[in-house]
């Protein structure tokens, strides 16, 4: 496999104006006829007169130019495409190919999921349907005819609007779809199956009525309400916040059970992993409800950021993904709690993106090269990409940012563009120069800010010295300073907001948050007018994706935790307190647990006015995986011991308060999915977790009772997780009961597998290996594989990293088994091994041996090859 470089980008030599497709669908043999109107691209340099189309795993039956069949001498077919030696400047190309959906285990192209057929084309799956210029800068209009057996496949869907339906004499029927919007091939989709739809409608701001349909298998019809509500909320929000209205007359969502990712934004026909559609209070947790709301919104938002305006090439992936993640994050913040949303997004960023950016797979938000594009759907491109958009929004301010996005939509509608085009709109609409800011797209790595403070009582000044530094990343030994928005506030002794008044300014600004801009390696800010030493609240709302090293004391952090008006920073102060204590306990089990630490959390728990959701976040200890990123050499066992020790201590010391919180938060009446109700359940189950993990008798009894009595899956799973961790007969009985109760509900069974894989019990791996042979386990279903294998290797750090290396051997065994069938899934599974250099020498050796075993095992997919070879480089 060879790398592809951004610097080699050339515009396509030919454009495709019109695409007519006809699929004769059958799981075993599907015939695809295509008719393409091609013409030479006036903007491209002329080549040798030949034309090469992408195509993989296709059996070519016929190829004709302008109605004349080509003879074998006039073209060549190889494993990656079709080359026609001489073509006119403008012509019609007709091809006929055969494909085999039922054999397609990679879930890319046309494949079978249960009894239905569906497609996944992004990034380069369209070339598995037919010969094509399968690159996003070739945008065309599509008309698609689907032909299939009427009984097996009564529903036939594609992009756009249905324009014709016919019953054929041989028991088949056909439906023709027409999509009036030009689109890149990766947004093409089709679905065929025996599906039912939940229907609704939405009236747009300009008064157009849109038909909304969610297609599912019949037994899932009762699990679509939340998805439909989420969709309508998202449609309204996009009109209000970004002025974006939906364009077609129909919007369809289809839920499928075999899917490599979360969902796919195909034009007018979003295809979803059913995990992000199906929910009923008794089958899905609050986290699931939340995920559905944000993924439905994300895919819907792509209609403008991705579909109407798409990417010129795959290096620009963050143009659509970073921006769309930013949009879905803002949506969730607006319809839920902004601080809680920010906390959960930053948790993800710190737990996944920071380690990625510090490891062998670090890459810029706009990568320079890749071997397999599917490996670049990363947390850097998505989540750091969203932060890069958020920073531009912060630098521009809300009005100017809205002007800039309006301009972007207006200027580039119908085009395939670059992140550079996006930044230029930001500049043009605001008059700001973002030259230096562009480094966020080009340089990998997480900047570290060191912030030193000094208070001068006589002068009444407070000086903040800020330095930024970014460690080298693969291929980028030297880093230049970033343009960083740093928002800060100052708190007085009573917790009141003070003005952030910079020396040289004639009058103080209003007290509150202020945005400072860093552009140099070092800055000094002198703040004046201070009659007392303030406590600084730094990087409010996490205004930039950086690590901060400051000189605040634990007392300052407790003060911020109690008084900061910025909810995110109250949480962050608490996290740092937990983190420092946990790391100290990791090094020394006898390190004392300070009284004032316990007291601070007791006060928080006793505050009746506290937002429950935020309180739950504040009281949650950082995960072992996150903490391991904070250590130079990860001490797997020490961290686990420290985590248990502190958890138990909190459970014992705050017992009465935790019990009170638990009882106060009892569920009354029917399940509601609202920020308040979710927060209350989160806090209740956190209190329960502390009690059970401290092996409190009353806590254990409450846990068993909750498992028996709860009607919502959030409470059931919280109890089942704790029971499973505790083990013994009660755990086995609960697991058996749960399994019996939910037989046949695939998404619920995923939870049953996951809860066992995550429990940090000594026999975890043995159990996971036994579950591979459970009749409900299937390596062909990505959700099932993730629920067992990824849960174990990502969320059960202490057992996955067992000193004998058995966890590593297990994972690599799974990767090698899966790779021939589903390379995308296999490459993702490998991720936990990539950070091997962070561990002690013996674990390093064991992990490296396993990575080398992958590399040495012959036929690897380009996906897995790229990940291992970079991990070992």
Question: Which residues of the chain form contacts with ligand B3K (CB under 6 A)?
Answer: 122-123, 261, 263-265, 298-299, 302, 321, 374, 377
Binding partner of residue 777 among Zn ion, ligand B3K, none, CB cut-off 5 to 8 Å per kind: none
Smallest gap from Cβ 417 to Zn ion, in A, equals 16
> In terms of DSSP bridges, do strands 250-256 and 209-216 run parallel, antiparallel, or are they unpaired?
parallel
One-character DSSP codes across 412-467: HTT-EE-HHHHHHHHHHHH----TGGGHHHH--S--EEEEEEEEETTTTEEEEEEE
| Main-chain phi, psi angles of 628, to 5 degrees | -65, -30
Q: What angle do CA 338, 326, 544 make, to 5 degrees?
A: 75
Q: Please, what is the minimum distance in Å from the beta carbon of residue 213 to ligand B3K?
A: 19
**Nearest CB to ligand B3K, comparing residues 267 and 704:** 267
> Cβ of residue 262: shortest distance to ligand B3K, in angstroms?
6
Nearer to ligand B3K, 187 or 396 (CB): 187
- SS3 assignment, position 489: strand
For the CB of residue 860, give the shortest distance to Zn ion in the complex, in Å.
Answer: 27
Phi, psi of 374 (to 5 degrees): -60, -20
**Closest CA relative to residue 304, chosen from 414, 218, 196:** 414
Size of the site for Zn ion (CB under 5 A): 2
Taking the least distance from each CB to ligand B3K, the nearer of 290 and 299 is 299
| Interaction partner, residue 261 (Zn ion, ligand B3K, none; CB < 5-8 Å by kind) | ligand B3K
Decide if 818 contacts 825 (C-beta within 8 A): yes
Using the CB atoms, write b or e for 522-546: b if 16+ within 10 Å. Answer: ebebbbbbbeebbbbbbbbbbbbbb
The CB-of-186 to Zn ion minimum distance in angstroms stands at 12
Q: Is residue 722 within 8 Å of residue 756, measured between CB atoms?
A: no
**Separation of alpha carbons 44 and 25, rounded Å:** 37
Q: Which residues fall within 8 angstroms of residue 257, CB to CB, at 6 or more apart? A: 113, 114, 274, 746, 781, 783
User: How far apart are the C-alpha atoms of 570 and 560, rounded to whole Å?
Assistant: 6
Cis peptide before 842 (omega within 30 of 0): no
Question: Cβ 321 to Zn ion, closest distance in Å?
Answer: 5
β-bridge pairing 90-99 and 59-65: antiparallel
- Minimum CB distance to ligand B3K smaller for 162 or for 262: 262
Instruction: Decide whether 318 or 446 has the Cβ nearer to ligand B3K.
Output: 318
Among 313-321, 517-525, 598-606, 760-768, the segment contacting Zn ion (CB under 5 A): 313-321
Torsion over CA of 378, 383, 387 and 393, rounded to 10 degrees?
Answer: 110
**How many angstroms separate the first and last alpha carbons of the chain?**
16
CB closer to ligand B3K, 298 vs 799: 298
Minimum CB distance to ligand B3K, residue 864 (Å): 14
Choose the contact partner of 374 out of ligand B3K, Zn ion, none; CB within 5 to 8 A by kind.
ligand B3K
176 binds, options Zn ion, ligand B3K, none, Cβ within 5 to 8 A by partner type: none
Q: Give the nearest distance from C-beta 214 to ligand B3K in angstroms.
A: 17
Phi–psi pair at 598, nearest 5 degrees = -60, -45
Distance from C-alpha of 840 to C-alpha of 625, rounded to nearest angstrom: 15
Strand boundaries in 457-610, DSSP class E: 461-469, 484-491, 497-498, 514-518, 522-527, 535-538, 547-550
CB of 263 or CB of 391, closer to ligand B3K: 263
Pick 122 or 611: Cβ nearer ligand B3K:
122
Residue corresponding to tokens 């879905």: 328
Enzyme catalytic residues: 299
Minimum distance from residue 18 beta carbon to Zn ion (Å): 27
Choose one: 320-328, 372-380, 448-456, 845-853; the region binding Zn ion (CB under 5 A).
320-328
Concatenated DSSP letters for 336-373? S-HHHHHHHHHHHIIIIIHHHHTSTT---SS-SEES-G
Question: Dihedral through CA 143, CA 144, CA 150, CA 151, nearest 10?
Answer: -130
122 binds, options ligand B3K, Zn ion, none, Cβ within 5 to 8 A by partner type: ligand B3K
Nearer to ligand B3K, 296 or 358 (CB): 296
Chain residues that interact with Zn ion, rule: CB under 5 A: 321, 324
């Amino acid at each position: 496999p060879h790398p592809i470089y951004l610097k080699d980008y050339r515009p396509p030599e030919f454009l495709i104006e019109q695409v007519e497709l006809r699929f004769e669908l059958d799981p075993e043999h599907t015939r695809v006829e295509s008719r393409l109107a091609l013409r030479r691209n006036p903007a491209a340099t002329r080549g040798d007169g030949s034309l090469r189309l992408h195509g993989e795993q296709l059996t070519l039956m016929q190829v004709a130019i302008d109605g004349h069949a080509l003879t074998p001498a006039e073209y060549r077919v190889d494993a990656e495409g079709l080359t026609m030696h001489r073509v006119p400047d403008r012509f019609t190309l007709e091809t006929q190919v055969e494909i085999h959906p039922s054999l397609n285990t990679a879930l890319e192209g046309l494949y079978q999921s249960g009894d239905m057929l569906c497609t996944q084309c992004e990034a380069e799956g369209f070339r598995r349907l037919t010969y094509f210029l399968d690159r996003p800068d070739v945008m065309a209009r599509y008309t698609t005819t689907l032909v299939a057996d009427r009984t097996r496949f009564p529903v036939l869907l594609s992009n756009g609007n249905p324009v014709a339906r016919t019953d054929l004499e041989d028991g088949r029927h056909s439906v023709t779809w027409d999509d009036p919007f030009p689109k890149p091939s990766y947004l093409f989709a089709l679905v065929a199956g025996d599906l039912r739809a939940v229907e609704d409608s939405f009236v747009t701001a300009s008064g157009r009525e849109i038909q909304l349909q969610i297609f599912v298998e019949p037994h899932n019809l009762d699990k679509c309400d939340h998805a439909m509500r989420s969709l309508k909320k998202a449609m309204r929000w996009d009109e209000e916040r970004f002025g974006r209205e939906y364009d077609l007359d129909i919007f369809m969502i289809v839920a499928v059970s075999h899917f490599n990712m979360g969902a796919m934004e195909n034009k007018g026909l979003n295809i979803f992993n059913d995990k992000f559609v199906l929910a009923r209070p008794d089958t899905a947790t609050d986290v699931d409800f939340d995920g559905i709301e944000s993924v439905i919104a994300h895919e819907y938002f792509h209609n403008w950021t991705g579909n109407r305006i798409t990417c010129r090439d795959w290096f620009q992936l963050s143009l659509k993904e970073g921006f769309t993640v930013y949009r879905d994050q803002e949506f969730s913040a607006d319809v839920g709690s902004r601080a809680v949303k920010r906390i959960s997004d930053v948790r993800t960023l710190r737990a996944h993106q920071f380690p990625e950016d510090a490891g062998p797979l670090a890459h810029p938000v706009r990568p320079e090269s890749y071997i397999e594009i599917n490996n670049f759907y990363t947390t850097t491109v998505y989540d750091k990409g969203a932060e890069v958009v958020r920073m531009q929004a912060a630098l521009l301010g809300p009005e100017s940012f809205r002007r800039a996005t309006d301009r972007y939509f207006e200027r580039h509608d119908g085009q395939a563009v670059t992140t550079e085009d996006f930044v230029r709109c930001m500049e043009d609409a605001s008059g700001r120069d973002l030259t230096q800011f562009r480094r966020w797209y080009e340089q990998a790595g997480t900047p570290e800010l060191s912030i030193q403070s000094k208070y001068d009582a006589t002068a009444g000044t407070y000086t903040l010295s800020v330095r930024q530094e970014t460690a080298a990343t693969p291929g980028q030994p030297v880093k230049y300073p970033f343009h960083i928005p740093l928002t800060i506030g100052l708190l007085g002794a009573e917790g009141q907001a003070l003005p952030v008044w910079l020396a040289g300014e004639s009058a103080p600004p209003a007290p509150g948050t202020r945005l400072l801009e860093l552009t140099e390696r070092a800055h000094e800010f002198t703040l004046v007018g201070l009659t007392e030493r303030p406590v600084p609240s730094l990087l409010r709302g996490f205004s930039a994706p950086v690590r901060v090293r400051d000189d605040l004391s634990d007392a300052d952090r407790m003060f911020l935790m109690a008084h900061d008006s910025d909810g995110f920073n109250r949480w962050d102060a608490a996290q740092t307190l937990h983190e420092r204590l946990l790391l100290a306990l990791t090094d020394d089990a006898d390190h004392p647990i300070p009284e004032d630490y316990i007291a601070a959390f007791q006060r928080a728990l006793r505050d009746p006015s506290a937002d429950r959701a935020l309180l739950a976040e504040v009281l949650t200890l950082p995960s072992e995986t996150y903490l391991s990123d904070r250590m130079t050499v990860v001490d797997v066992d020490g961290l686990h011991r420290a985590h248990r020790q502190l958890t138990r201590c909190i459970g014992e010391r705050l017992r009465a308060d935790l019990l009170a919180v638990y009882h106060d938060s009892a569920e009354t009446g029917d399940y509601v999915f609202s920020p308040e109700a979710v927060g209350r359940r989160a806090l209740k189950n956190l209190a329960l977790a502390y009690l059970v993990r401290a092996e409190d008798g009353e806590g254990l009894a409450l846990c068993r009772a909750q498992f028996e009595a709860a009607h919502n899956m959030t409470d059931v799973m919280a109890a089942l997780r704790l029971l499973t961790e505790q083990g013994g007969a009660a755990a086995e009985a609960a697991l058996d009961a749960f399994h019996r109760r939910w037989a046949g509900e695939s998404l619920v069974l995923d939870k049953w597998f996951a809860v066992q894989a995550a429990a940090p019990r000594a026999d975890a791996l043995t159990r996971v290996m036994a579950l591979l042979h459970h009749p409900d386990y299937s390596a062909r279903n990505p959700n099932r594989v993730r629920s067992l294998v990824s849960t174990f290797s990502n969320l059960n750090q202490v057992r996955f990293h067992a000193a004998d290396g058995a966890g590593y051997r297990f994972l690599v065994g799974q990767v090698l088994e899966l790779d021939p069938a589903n390379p995308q899934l296999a490459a993702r599974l490998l991720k936990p091994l990539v950070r091997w250099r962070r561990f002690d020498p013996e674990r390093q050796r064991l992990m490296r041996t396993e990575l080398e075993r992958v590399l040495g095992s012959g036929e690897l997919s380009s996906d897995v090859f790229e990940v291992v070879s970079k991990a070992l480089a």
